[in-house]
Amino acid sequence: MLPVGLVIVMGTGTSFGTVPVLAVLYVPLCSERGFGLGATTLLVAAAATIGDTSFHVSDITLAPTSGLNVDGQHDYIWDTCVIPLIALDIPMFILACLCPLFF
């Protein structure tokens, strides 16, 4: 379910506008599978966050770039997209897969 959310959020470039879309998809699936409210909320939030921080034209990645590129030495993809992918998205994906087992 997380890769589906990743693709949806990457298609729009913002997590704020896609949370309702993800909720429409995830809530029926999670309720059929017996997930609790906490697990469903965690999956929606994780899918929105993972998609937003790992895509190169999202509003979360474009804002820091406008400030960091003042001196002209900012490498956009490596400095803004790859580091959050490694530091944030991979651990969040793993935790989002494991946490619904406990909620």
State the Cα–Cα distance between residues 15 and 53, nearest whole angstrom. Answer: 9
Mean pLDDT of 13-35: 84
- pLDDT of 19 strictly over 90: no
| Model pTM score | 0.74
Number of residues that make up the chain: 103
More confident residue, 45 or 1: 45
Instruction: List the domain boundaries for the chain.
Output: 2-101
Reading the block at residue 5, the tokens are: 């959310």
More confident residue, 70 or 1: 70
- The stretches of the chain forming alpha helices (DSSP H) are 2-12, 19-32, 37-54, 59-68, 76, 83-84, 90-98
